[in-house]
A and B are shown apart, each in its own frame.
Chain A
Amino acid sequence: MRFPKPRRVTLYILLVFFAFLFLLPLWTCITTSFKPVHDVIYTTPVELPLSPTAEPLITALNIMQRPLLNSFTFTISAMILSCLLGSINGYILTKIRFRGSDTVFLFFSIGIFIPYQAVLVPLVLTMSKLGLFNHIEGLILTHTAYGIPITTLLFRNFYGVIPNSLIMAAKTDGAGTWTIYRRIVLPLSLLPFVVAAVFQFTSIWNDFLFGVALARGSEAQPASVALANLRGTTEFQWNVQMAGTLWYALPVLVIFFVLGKYLMRGYMAGAVKG
């Protein structure tokens, strides 16, 4: 439906106005990351730097290097594990089915919505007992476990549309559960794997609560926690803070621009955040 001319002008003014509001914080973050201290004081945040410098970015990277590497390690590991398990679960819950499989799925789904505060104390105790407190492996295990509910939901939605006749035919030929998964389901799974991987990468990368509870101030410290600390230690060096923010946000920004449409599919599948 089209509005008449003057109203269409208003429409675009509104759209651009909101685009400005939504981009403003990020834009000032980018400009400030390239400013020497002098420019931070003598230019407005929206202006480009007078004498651009990479100094703040280098300073911030020196501080954030190790935590960024930590985040990559546990994010990618937990992403792969939770996607594989979610895929197998989705397959079993849609194509094998058993008595009570709907109930099992319901119990998994509740795991998507629980406030993680409700598990935090026992989680810390468990990780201490396992000797994984302040270790990357503890974060991998935690993010894998709490990722399973949402990846199961994503894969279950996708596998629901694979025709059952396909599975039946293979079964009549004598193929077992594993063979059917390997030969039929897995080759059809590229799309759900991309959607689930992109979704898991961003939510694990973005996590702060598990990181701060399980690996604060240790060698295994995630980038999110390091950035929060940077905010405390560089209180008046806004350019360094913004540069650190940019480094930490960069992988997610890249994913958003390159694979954004898959991320949106993840969000629309009843996804949550936090």
Chain B
Amino acid sequence: MAGNQLPGRKMRLPSRTMLTKDRIVTLILFLPSLVLVGYFVYVTIGWNVVVSLSDWKGLTPSYNIVGFDQYTRLFQDPTFFTALKNNLVLILLFVPGSLFLGLFLAILLDLKVRGEGVFRGIYLLPFALSFVVTAVLWAWMYNPSIGVINTLLMKTGLGFLKSGWITDPNVGLYCVVLAIIWQFSGYTMLIFLAGIRSIPESQMMAAEVDGASGFDLYRLVVIPQLKAPALSAFVVLMVFALKAFDFIFVLTDYSDYTYILPLMMFRETFSMNRFSYGAAIATILFLLALVIVVPYLYLSFRREKE
């Protein structure tokens, strides 16, 4: 979100000289979007909160408002804490993992590499794919009997490293983390590479004259200037780690060891028909996302205004 208005050139409608007809045209053009976003984002979020305060089980058409019952139940439900814990583990490993691998790849590509475009394309490709695609691909990679990883380990004499991977409760969650790092680090690479390229060449040269070279140059000059891209990538990764559903749902279904809040929400709502309970989990997810997103939007908005 680049600042794009020059100071002092802000345009304003001369309110009295404009035809009213023109204002009506503007309103008509804007109305569909206002209605759609207003309804599908804001009314539905509000409605979801209302449902979460009710005793509604699907299939019965009516419900009563019962207050915070669903939430009290939620905080006594051990599966809620399992899901929350798994969500946290996911965030703590996946977010820094993707940031570091992305940064590393961006630095590699910045070293005047031949065929940079090809490598960049290869690293970014997984990010363009649907989570359903990558989930099926990784199910194949991790398959214990004839999957890619175990077969390759056998063939290269590393058979002792064989594992049940995604089917093993002890490592299943880490297998998920690894796969989504694979999918997202191309994205963080792209964001970091753009950030590195926006640092003026003269600064790099000055640092080289001062004797900085190799990875020192990146540690001392480049990385400290990547705060803005790191922040926006961080927010995107955090929000994803909260709501990640498709990938895990397709890969491991509702297994305990990869059970996270979005899966719990979906299961309670659509398999168990506990609409109000599902809505309460959804509300908690929404609040967690707000805590991350609102300060970020506020900051980038202020930066744009300056």
Contacts and interface: CB of A to CB of B under 8 A. Distances in A.
Interface of A: 1-3, 7, 11-12, 14-15, 18-19, 21-26, 28-29, 32, 40-41, 44-46, 85, 88-89, 92, 94-98, 102, 104, 106-111, 113-123, 125-126, 142, 144-146, 148-149, 152-153, 157, 160-161, 164, 167-168, 176-178, 181, 202, 205-209, 213, 224, 227-228, 231, 238, 241-242, 244-245, 248-249, 252-253, 255-256, 260, 263-264, 267-274
B243 A3 contact: no
Given A224-B130, A248-B133, A157 B33 contact: no
Contacts of B148: 24-25, 28, 45-46
A268 B190 contact: yes
A117 B243 contact: yes
A164 B108 contact: no
Contact of A228 (B9, B129, B250): B250
B113 to A, nearest CB: 6
Contacts of A25: 126, 134, 137-138, 140-141, 148, 182
B220 interface: no
B47 A227 contact: no
Contacts of A97: 11-13
A117 B191 contact: no
Contacts of A167: 11
Contact of B133 (A110, A227, A270): A227
Interface stretch (B24-32, B65-73, B158-166): B24-32
Contacts of B112: 1-2
B272 interface: no
Contact of A115 (B11, B131, B269, B286): B286
Contacts of B1: 153, 157, 269-270
Best-surrounded residue of B21, B108, B148 (most CB of chain A within 10 A): B148
A158 to B, nearest CB: 9
Given A110-B297, A181-B29, A245-B133, 10 more contacts: A1-B214, A19-B123, A22-B186, A25-B148, A29-B137, A88-B33, A118-B45, A122-B44, A160-B2, A264-B190
A1 B213 CA distance: 8
12 contacts: A1-B204, A3-B111, A22-B123, A45-B148, A113-B297, A118-B282, A119-B282, A120-B48, A120-B269, A160-B4, A206-B131, A208-B131
A259 to B, nearest CB: 11
Contacts of A271: 236
Contacts of B194: 268
Given A120-B282, A148-B33, A205 B269 contact: no
Contact of B217 (A1, A45, A168): A1
Given A45-B140, A152-B33, A96 B26 contact: yes
Interface of B: 1-2, 4-5, 9, 11-13, 19, 21-22, 25-26, 29-30, 32-34, 36-37, 39-45, 47-48, 51, 105, 108-109, 111-113, 119, 121-141, 143, 146-148, 151-152, 155, 182, 186-187, 190-191, 194, 204, 208, 213-214, 217, 232, 235-236, 239-240, 242-246, 249-250, 262, 265-266, 269-270, 275, 278-279, 281-283, 285-286, 289, 293-294, 297, 301
Contact of B146 (A41, A160, A249): A41
A213 B267 CA distance: 11
A22 B130 contact: no
B108 A149 contact: no
B13 A209 contact: no
Given A85-B32, A115-B262, A238 B146 contact: yes
A95 B5 CA distance: 11
A57 to B, nearest CB: 15
A26 B75 CA distance: 42
Contacts of B139: 231
Contact of A92 (B30, B37, B262): B30
A110 B121 contact: no
Contact of A23 (B41, B122, B136, B282): B122
Contacts of A102: 301
Contacts of B5: 160
A248 B132 contact: yes
Nearest to B41: A111
B220 to A, nearest CB: 13
Contacts of B293: 110, 113
A213 B137 CA distance: 23
B297 A15 contact: no
Given A88-B33, A92-B26, A123 B2 contact: no
A89 B122 CA distance: 34
B19 A176 contact: yes
Given A1-B217, A228-B250, A267 B48 contact: no
Given A1-B111, A85-B32, A115-B242, A231 B41 contact: no
A178 B29 contact: yes
